[in-house]
Structure 1
Amino acid sequence: MVRSFTALFLSFFSCLLTAGELRLIPDPQGTNDLQLSDLGNGEWEVRTTGADPYLLLKTDGAALDLRATPMLSLEYFSTTGVGRTLVFLGPAIDVPHMITVDMGRREGWGEFAVDLRETLERPQGPVTSMRLTLGQGPGVVARLRNFRAREAIGQELRLAASRTARLEADAAHAERLRAYFSKEFPARITKVSASAGTITVEGKLGHAGRDCQLAEVPMWEDVTALKIPASLHGLDPDDAGNFKVSISRAAVEDREPLLSGWAVVRMSDGVPELLSAMRYVEDQIPRADLPAAKPRSKKGIGGCPFDHPDMQELGIASVTLNIILNELLHAEAGPGRTPHVFAGRTWHTEDAAVARYDRDMKIAAENGWMVSAIVLLPPVRNAPENAWIREAAHPEADPGAGFVLPDFTSKTGVNAYAAAMNFVTQRYSRPDGQYGRVHHWIMHNEINSGFFWASAGQKTDLTYMDLYQKSMRVACLLARQYDPNAKPLISLEHCWGRRADVRGYAGRDLMEHMVSFGHREGDFPWAIAHHPYPQDIFNPRTWEDSQATFDFATPYLTYRNIEVLDAWARQERVRYRGQPREIQLTEQGLNSPDYSEKSLRDQAAGMAYAWEKIAPLDTVTAFQYHLWADDRGEGGLRLGLRKFGDDPQDSHGIKPIWHLYKALGTEGGAAASQPYLEVVGAKAWDEVRFHGEVKK
């Protein structure tokens, strides 16, 4: 569902950028070692076949103006990844006129842009063509569209100008974080709790001395380079050095102290010396004791209209739903808007957008479905000057990304983001259930590929997670004011021990950082939203995934080795207050390469296999299938339980996997799965389950 939305969003955006650009056209006669196929609707498929695969892009005869349109832009979708890509500007095929970039794996349509001014030499004469070398050998499969040269937008100009300084600052921040995690501090914050009106901080001074104070560290501050604390509070320790301080939340008007961290400091000439690690609120008294979500089965879905009869026919127990925060808040009043006050500032909600979400939430509540909402922030792009997203989006986010992280570098950014999150968590956690309920909050999307799905610019994995875990905490702290059982979920795709792109991260590294932040700054009940697509998302025969191994270093975490994630979540150091981390499989499906009998049978067999793998894992509480129906915006994938809606022979026709999915989780599930044992190559489903010990 996220992918489909992104495809539509980017397609709409590309239609808007018609002025100040030059269209580029692939030349089928200008290729080498690749097959170039015109798929219609402006899409092209590339399959590389040799050692020097390239294609030629031509203008319609007009020359490229590097001053006016310096950015080569295209959208691509590639589950193999393209790898190293060479752009030769103009007719000269040489190093002075070459730009080297990397086009990584991308399981969703997204823009890719190259600044053509980065060649060592400017081309001689007018430029009416350029050559793209896509990868370094055979085996690359990619879909491409919307080739053009366009002007550089404001964010690209700003990021290009500050790139060196940003990378140096980020590397220094990563070094400080590593030192912070390993440091033995003399003092310790032992507990931070909250009620509706008060934050209570307890701690022990140890050998820090008595000339200490308690410092408030808002999320926009860097605790590793702390400057002026937002507030300072005196300490009155007992003889053993224990202290307890209460802070009024109501007395603070320009921020929400619930979201702040707290640390012991010593002030010297107005500069704080950090004497303890920072700690966030870990316990709260909620306004109501809402019951925990207990879906009647693991069977869920994403992308099906909530009022469609299939929701009942399939026996759905849980759903995912995108919440696009950009749609909800405005900085200014206007017709059809309602005031919403947060941290002393009045925002204005978009009533029509809120009503659309209310409708779906109410349907979910009426049917008893567990709702896990996916929180998304599309980038600024051409948003109006007073738009909420201009304050909330991270200032270093890639303008070509599908979605972005919030801004945790400024007070304005944190307050804007928290205002939106407070609105949705409060509204969809009411004791009377007037607007329905969101039970859990999936924070952003597939952060292994955060450069596209949740961008904050080029970051190390540690500095990226410093930002991401703050977003998780915002959701947790705000939601658990209203619902003591709400959880934020970390969103990961199937790359675990490897990076799908040089700009991305290994899932395991991000998870280890998540654990470290909890140990250092206070743990909270985060859960896991994993997407265990097959190793090759186009191939439904996931039991053949050769790089899905049974160890914590496995390159991929797919249906084949899902037991690895279960084992990881059960580790003592990973648990939350003694309990394994909850796992929801919130976006995954099986592809039918076409509608042939074999493809449809393989797709259903993959589903039977996946279900039997997760059935005995009690850490896995939900499996939300993606998608309900095949979608043209998914780069040629046919993941649906039904066929394409525009299929000329069988619009939204039911596939065999639909019948199987209906039966799963019911008394008829075993009989429905039985015919697929032969496809998988097993005599009984217990044979496909891993019974050994996962290697650490």
Structure 2
Amino acid sequence: MTNKRNYETFIPAFRRRILDIAVLIFLFGILYACQEEEGTKPPIVIKSNTEYLKFNLASANQLTISQDEKNSYSISTTGGDPYIMTQGISRMRHPDSVVLSFEYKSSKSIERLQVFFGPDIAESRSLFGPSLTASSGWKVYSAIMPKELDKFSWGKPGDFLRFDFGTESGVNVGIRNIYFRKMNAQEIRAFEEEEARIKREESIQRAWTEYLEANYASKISEVRIDPEAVTITGEYAGDGAFSLCEVMPADTLVVMNSFKHKIPLDNRSFRITLPRFVTRNGLNYDRLLSRWVIVKESGNTASIDSHARYTDIIAPRQSMPPGVLKSKKGLGGFFMNSFVNDLDLLGITSITINIPITAMMYTYPAANTIVHEYGGKKYYFSKNYLNGIDSALKLTVSKDIVVAAIILVQKAAECVDPEIGRLLQHPSYTPEGIYTMPNLTTDEGVNCYAAALDFLASRYNRPDNAYGRIHKWIMHNEVDAGLTWTNMGRKPMMIYLETYLRSMRICHTISRQYDPHSEVMGSFTHSWTEPVELYSSKEMLTAMQQFSIREGDFQWGVAYHPYPQDLNEPKTWNDTKATFGINSPLVTFKNLEVIDHWIRKTENRYLSTHKRTLWLSENGTNSRSYSNDDLREQAAGFAYAWKKLSLLEGIDAIQWHNWIDNRTEFGLRIGLRRFPDDETEPGGAKPVWYAYQAAGTEREDEVFEPYKSIIGIQQWSEIMHNIIP
């Protein structure tokens, strides 16, 4: 979660737990047809023997609704959580009626249409659909969902739907003729094609699992990058013809049965030096990004005979001092504003800063841009956008503050250059995503993504610190909630994670050229063993460690978000899903001991020796209002968290989010300061601000003392717990 937080995190019901539906064939509405009828309004055609769904007008929430004709309604949204339920159906749905269809028109696009399948209203029984595009004429909207209807056993008399119309007020929607119908021939073909795709991906998922579990006879032991050369060292075992093969970032290793770039091996132990730069598909390709594998060939077939190996050693272009944390206290989502003195007043020693690369990157020389050449191609970056980043980072570098950049990729529709959007939006992106996984399926996409990272690393890692400094790179946002925050569609976990790791590796190898101490970090929600959407953070972290062991370890860290179980509720010590077992459903402020235990275990360390960095890079407690009681509870939540994390050696820092209350966060007040436009005290420091200021100083116990009674303890030692195996 970044400064722009998704709505289901913040609405009162906290509709955040989305069903693990990796096994489902279709995202609601991923296959749909929209046809716009311009001009004269077509008549409503009432089909005989069809049961049209009717809205229960009394169930409207944050919207107004009127019935125009028998099956036609006019809706106006009035808040950030507009929804309405239908009446229960009167007869059993026919088994072949699996396409939800209706006609609509809308004054604005609605990007996040969500449908719940009642009578049990729960995230686990809901699906997101594609956007309803703005239209003054009627469009037909169809969503194919046979697997979902079967999974939810929906279609009995009395069952109903709940429609959630996005997150914005002031949208006028017309909707009519809501019903379920049979698939047509085209939809049947699409359904079958999608089913085949799912089977292919399940096969790839199994292949990655087998790859990690395999014990190959051959091995690549080291890959070294020098300014003009790459050197690969290894050995093969067994009889037959063996080759050293190059795997480029756009390749999917486990499905490759032929290799274009190979070198025959004739010595069982080898050390091969190759040119670092080669021409590939019209690009000046840097083998820094490649991994290498030993392949055994027999006739016309080839099979891998080792785990692949990424670059281990990178000769740096320059010397840069490491960033050194002076304390555990930081701020999340830093930006320049009138309160920047808080850096000194609060004793801040680390920050995160959001950098959506697609908000400033062009393929052509747009006005007021800086050119950057990478891979033989030129890319252009907005000076105006960079000025904001420069100002923030020049300030932080002057104060020796350690900085982590959060690298985000916007969906194509939001990119400043549509061509950049085409290159970088993942081809499997689906509409519920706020951000996308970068497109690493094409050489063009890889080069564009690498160019952005190379530009940032070269600009913000200079010995003179001319533009400021970036020490760490948080790769994308909350990847265990990838459907929302780093979207590449519904993929089996191994496919999704391996793509994410390629993104991390690209950033790692590029940034290490400019800063030998640079570190990439994976971003995760407070999920631990309970998936927040499709995956859990623990399963992803465990698999990341397995990939690192097999393919050459690299110094990645963890950027964790241990918000309270209910983000509205600051009394995190009451979190029921945060236990003190190693398989706790969640890790929140209540049970930070769990992730501290995980990060310190030998098998999870970098090269089994060095503890990986663990930042609590986005988290905060909420004040439900600005009443004295609510403000004190918010401060008590922080005091509780600080007393824990200050004693846990595995946790290196916390970056509080939000710094300042934000009106766009659906009523939450998780900042250290009030809303900037608050009527009584604009941007005023809240009690949690003073608690944050005192944390880690000699005044800590004095300032924290009143919060013990709120928590219900006599001594702070009472909040610490041992981990249950």
Q: TM-score range by the shorter chain?
A: 0.7 to 0.9
Q: Which moved more, 1:409-418 or 1:555-564?
A: 409-418
The equivalent residue for 1:586 is: 617
State the 1:364 CA deviation.
1.3
* 1:554 aligned onto 2:603: no
State the 1:170 CA deviation.
1.4
Instruction: State how far apart, in whole Å, the 1-side matches of 2:107 and 2:548 are.
Output: 42
The equivalent residue for 2:542 is: 512
Instruction: State how far apart, in whole Å, the 2-side matches of 1:653 and 1:596 are.
Output: 14
From 215, 228, 239, the equivalent of 1:197 is: 228
Structure 2 contact 245–295 (Cα < 8 Å) conserved: yes
State the 1:168 CA deviation.
2.3
Provide closer, same or farther for how the CA distance between residues 175 and 453 of structure 1 changes in structure 2, counting only shifts above 3 A: same
* 1:36 aligned onto 2:36: no
* 1:446 aligned onto 2:478: yes
* 1:360 aligned onto 2:389: no
Structure 1 contact 448–505 (Cα < 8 Å) conserved: yes
The equivalent residue for 1:316 is: 348
From 136, 142, 145, the equivalent of 1:116 is: 142
Instruction: State how far apart, in whole Å, the 1-side matches of 2:443 and 2:622 are.
Output: 45
The equivalent residue for 1:526 is: 556
Structure 1 contact 381–399 (Cα < 8 Å) conserved: no
Matched residue SS, 1:316:
coil
The equivalent residue for 2:469 is: 437
Provide closer, same or farther for how the CA distance between residues 566 and 488 of structure 1 changes in structure 2, counting only shifts above 3 A: same
Matched residue SS, 1:562:
helix
Structure 1 contact 304–311 (Cα < 8 Å) conserved: no
Instruction: State how far apart, in whole Å, the 1-side matches of 2:537 and 2:85 are.
Output: 32
Structure 1 contact 331–347 (Cα < 8 Å) conserved: yes
* 1:4 aligned onto 2:7: no
* 1:405 aligned onto 2:437: yes
Provide closer, same or farther for how the CA distance between residues 67 and 46 of structure 1 changes in structure 2, counting only shifts above 3 A: closer
Matched residue SS, 1:4:
coil
* 1:133 aligned onto 2:161: yes
From 638, 652, 670, the equivalent of 1:607 is: 638
* 1:292 aligned onto 2:322: yes
State the 1:543 CA deviation.
0.8
Structure 1 contact 71–115 (Cα < 8 Å) conserved: no
Q: Which moved more, 1:318-327 or 1:303-312?
A: 303-312
Structure 2 contact 404–472 (Cα < 8 Å) conserved: yes
Provide closer, same or farther for how the CA distance between residues 111 and 634 of structure 1 changes in structure 2, counting only shifts above 3 A: farther
Instruction: State how far apart, in whole Å, the 2-side matches of 1:102 and 1:379 are.
Output: 26
The equivalent residue for 1:90 is: none
Provide closer, same or farther for how the CA distance between residues 382 and 318 of structure 1 changes in structure 2, counting only shifts above 3 A: closer
State the 1:562 CA deviation.
0.5
Structure 1 contact 629–643 (Cα < 8 Å) conserved: yes
* 1:327 aligned onto 2:359: yes
The equivalent residue for 1:695 is: 724
Structure 1 contact 208–275 (Cα < 8 Å) conserved: no
Instruction: State how far apart, in whole Å, the 2-side matches of 1:332 and 1:228 are.
Output: 36
Q: Which moved more, 1:556-565 or 1:310-319?
A: 310-319
Paired AA for residue 276 in structure 2: R
Structure 1 contact 71–116 (Cα < 8 Å) conserved: no
Give the fraction of aligned pairs with identical amino acids, expressed as a percent.
Answer: 30
Provide closer, same or farther for how the CA distance between residues 481 and 270 of structure 1 changes in structure 2, counting only shifts above 3 A: farther
Paired AA for residue 221 in structure 1: D
The equivalent residue for 1:274 is: 304
Which residues in structure 2 correspond to 1:165-176 (within 5 Å)? Answer: 165-176=196-207
Paired AA for residue 161 in structure 2: T
Q: Which moved more, 1:252-261 or 1:507-516?
A: 252-261
Structure 2: gaps of 5 or more residues: 8-34, 39-53, 65-75, 88-99, 134-139, 147-158, 176-186
Matched residue SS, 2:412:
coil
Paired AA for residue 626 in structure 1: H
Instruction: State how far apart, in whole Å, the 1-side matches of 2:473 and 2:500 are.
Output: 14
Q: Which moved more, 1:311-320 or 1:549-558?
A: 311-320
From 662, 674, 681, the equivalent of 1:631 is: 662
Instruction: State how far apart, in whole Å, the 1-side matches of 2:468 and 2:289 are.
Output: 25
State the 1:6 CA deviation.
6.4
Instruction: State how far apart, in whole Å, the 1-side matches of 2:106 and 2:307 are.
Output: 47
* 1:225 aligned onto 2:255: yes
Instruction: State how far apart, in whole Å, the 2-side matches of 1:593 and 1:330 are.
Output: 42
Matched residue SS, 2:246:
strand
The equivalent residue for 1:93 is: none
Structure 2 contact 360–416 (Cα < 8 Å) conserved: no
Provide closer, same or farther for how the CA distance between residues 550 and 144 of structure 1 changes in structure 2, counting only shifts above 3 A: farther
Provide closer, same or farther for how the CA distance between residues 76 and 287 of structure 1 changes in structure 2, counting only shifts above 3 A: same
Instruction: State how far apart, in whole Å, the 2-side matches of 1:159 and 1:261 are.
Output: 36
Instruction: State how far apart, in whole Å, the 2-side matches of 1:427 and 1:619 are.
Output: 31
Instruction: State how far apart, in whole Å, the 1-side matches of 2:391 and 2:700 are.
Output: 32
State the 1:222 CA deviation.
1.1
Provide closer, same or farther for how the CA distance between residues 398 and 352 of structure 1 changes in structure 2, counting only shifts above 3 A: same
Deviation string 1:423-477 (CA, Å, 9 cap, x unpaired) is 1112111122111110000000011110110001110111110111111111111
Structure 2 contact 405–473 (Cα < 8 Å) conserved: yes
Structure 2 contact 614–650 (Cα < 8 Å) conserved: yes
Provide closer, same or farther for how the CA distance between residues 208 and 219 of structure 1 changes in structure 2, counting only shifts above 3 A: farther
The equivalent residue for 1:59 is: none
Instruction: State how far apart, in whole Å, the 2-side matches of 1:596 and 1:663 are.
Output: 22
Paired AA for residue 679 in structure 1: I
Structure 2 contact 225–276 (Cα < 8 Å) conserved: no
Structure 1 contact 533–588 (Cα < 8 Å) conserved: yes
The equivalent residue for 1:60 is: none
Matched residue SS, 2:354:
strand
Provide closer, same or farther for how the CA distance between residues 629 and 229 of structure 1 changes in structure 2, counting only shifts above 3 A: same
Which residues in structure 2 correspond to 1:634-673 (within 5 Å)? Answer: 634-673=665-704
Deviation string 1:330-380 (CA, Å, 9 cap, x unpaired) is 122333233221122222222222232222211111122111110000101
Instruction: State how far apart, in whole Å, the 2-side matches of 1:469 and 1:583 are.
Output: 18
Structure 1 contact 75–147 (Cα < 8 Å) conserved: no
Aligned residues: 624
Provide closer, same or farther for how the CA distance between residues 685 and 408 of structure 1 changes in structure 2, counting only shifts above 3 A: same
The equivalent residue for 1:419 is: 451
Provide closer, same or farther for how the CA distance between residues 361 and 338 of structure 1 changes in structure 2, counting only shifts above 3 A: same
Instruction: State how far apart, in whole Å, the 2-side matches of 1:532 and 1:322 are.
Output: 19
Instruction: State how far apart, in whole Å, the 2-side matches of 1:21 and 1:563 are.
Output: 59
* 1:479 aligned onto 2:511: yes
Provide closer, same or farther for how the CA distance between residues 675 and 646 of structure 1 changes in structure 2, counting only shifts above 3 A: same
The equivalent residue for 1:12 is: none
Instruction: State how far apart, in whole Å, the 2-side matches of 1:379 and 1:208 are.
Output: 49
Provide closer, same or farther for how the CA distance between residues 352 and 462 of structure 1 changes in structure 2, counting only shifts above 3 A: same
Structure 2 contact 230–273 (Cα < 8 Å) conserved: yes
Structure 1 contact 70–115 (Cα < 8 Å) conserved: no
State the 1:389 CA deviation.
2.4
State the 1:179 CA deviation.
1.7
Matched residue SS, 1:481:
helix
Structure 1 contact 84–102 (Cα < 8 Å) conserved: yes
State the 1:305 CA deviation.
3.2
Instruction: State how far apart, in whole Å, the 2-side matches of 1:444 and 1:71 are.
Output: 32
State the 1:570 CA deviation.
1.4
Paired AA for residue 43 in structure 1: G
Instruction: State how far apart, in whole Å, the 2-side matches of 1:234 and 1:595 are.
Output: 71
Structure 1 contact 31–55 (Cα < 8 Å) conserved: no
State the 1:118 CA deviation.
3.4
Structure 1 contact 73–149 (Cα < 8 Å) conserved: no
Paired AA for residue 244 in structure 1: R
State the 1:531 CA deviation.
0.3
Structure 1 contact 590–603 (Cα < 8 Å) conserved: yes
RMSD over equivalenced CA pairs, Å? 3.8
Task: Give the TM-score taking structure 1 as reference length.
Answer: 0.82
Deviation string 1:653-689 (CA, Å, 9 cap, x unpaired) is 2211111111112221221112211111111212211
Provide closer, same or farther for how the CA distance between residues 116 and 479 of structure 1 changes in structure 2, counting only shifts above 3 A: same
Provide closer, same or farther for how the CA distance between residues 160 and 640 of structure 1 changes in structure 2, counting only shifts above 3 A: farther
